[in-house]
Amino acid sequence: MRACVPLIVAILFSLAWAGKLESCASRCNEKFHRDAACQCDRQCPRHGDCCEDYEHVCTGEEGPEEPEPFLELEEEPVETPAGHLYSAPSSCRDRCHEAFDRHQPCHCNARCPEFGNCCTDFESLCGHEGFSYSSDAITKEELQSISEKIYRADVNKAQKEDIILNSQNRISPSETRDQVDRCPEPLFTYVNEKLFSKPTYAAFINLLNNYQRATGRGEHFSAQQLAEQDAFLREVMRTAVMKELYGFLRHQNRYGSEQEFVNDLKNMWFGLYSRGNEEEDSSGFEHVFSGEIKKGKVTGFHNWIRFYMQEKEGLVDYYSHIYDGPWDSYPDVLAMQFNWDGYYKEVGSAFIGSSPEFEFALYSLCFIARPGKVCQLSLGGYPLAIQTYPWDKSTYGNGKKYIATAYVVSSTQ
């Protein structure tokens, strides 16, 4: 009987420890715990694995959350623990030339032979003629070069006389949490709406009313709405901007044909995933260009056309801005604060005066070349940075990731 005592004590101890890991008591804001039954870190709401008492213990009056860093608040950098990732594929099927991802068990990019971490079928699936080991890793200089070419190719951008902005009051970053309307006049004094009759603008605008902005409510597209997605991709691919981007990525051996490229764009931008309640309620396009509401906050919403149209309808109230880019022509960049039909956006950066294909091209370029990282570009001789994040909780194809967000990083961020 005495021999059983240590075993009984060990079992009781492990049960007590397991019980501790099912509650957030004394665990608020701790790092991800792989062995815990549930989590209490600040990212658990994003991943849907919080303990049942997380809201009460960690976000109630007795346990306020830590102040968030000054960034795009819903889009602060996330180090996703391995336990939250999909089961990464161990094959190179449909993965040739993908960007390096440290969470993958093996790799299929051109440098994996150099590091000895290729998947076993890399050579048979990816070693076809035209695969260039030296061109797979896109350099900062190459990104700056192609972004300048895309900038020059944007013939559909607004001209100075097409848009009159009234940016009014500029505030400091410390004032963004005040939620005070310091600008009594709208941001847009005038926009030449003839721009919106151009094919890419018209196709883009058709997409904006296809979404329910509240997360947790599933999106269900009609045949007409799916056709509008295809029409938008078809129109942007006819532009010089997207031809520049595709030519660059084809030269980099990222895509073997234009159709392969278009199919990937459709999946990464329009593919649905769940930001809450197990519903397919979100996509990269909806988040970035149309905007969403989650937990009482505006998330995404980084497009000037959407802003103008909602402001014109009286649904957007411009509050102030914290950054105005150095460009003296369009596209320009503005980081602003606003209220969207009762919900506040603390830091919202957007291109101003750019064509839909221009934004779509630069965000796609950065997501393909620098997913989850800051992407350093150049526009008209001025530096520009774009941040993208992949959605890590679900994938398409054989482990490819959807776009979670993409936005311009202002100098104050």
Q: Which amino acid is at 57?
A: V
Closest to 376 measured CA to CA, from 365, 390, 389:
365
Q: 400 near 98, Cβ under 8 Å?
A: yes
Q: Check 84, 287, 294, 401 and give the catalytic one.
A: 287
Distance between CA atoms of 401 and 394, rounded to whole angstroms? 7
Tell the burial category of 194 from Cβ atoms under 10 Å away from its Cβ (0-12, 13-18, 19+).
exposed
Q: Does 302 participate in catalysis according to the annotation? A: yes
Q: Which amino acid is at 231?
A: A
HSE-up (13 A, CA, CB side) for residue 13: 6
**Token digits for 183?**
């600008």
Q: Check 97, 107, 157, 345 and give the catalytic one.
A: 345
- In the chain, the largest separation of any two C-alpha atoms, in whole Å, equals 91
Q: Does 220 participate in catalysis according to the annotation? A: no
How many Å is the Cα radius of gyration of the chain?
23
User: How would you list the strands of the sheet with 292-294, edge to edge?
Assistant: 292-294, 297-299, 343-352, 332-340, 316-324
User: How would you list the strands of the sheet with 382-396, edge to edge?
Assistant: 374-379, 382-396, 400-409
Distance between CA atoms of 402 and 294, rounded to whole angstroms? 19
Q: Check 157, 294, 302, 321 and give the catalytic one.
A: 302
HSE-up (13 A, CA, CB side) for residue 63: 16
How far from 30 is each of 24, 56, 62, 92, CA to CA, in Å? Answer: 9, 16, 17, 36
Total residues belonging to the chain: 413
Within its chain, how far is the Cα of 90 from the centroid?
A: 26
Catalytic positions: 287, 302, 345
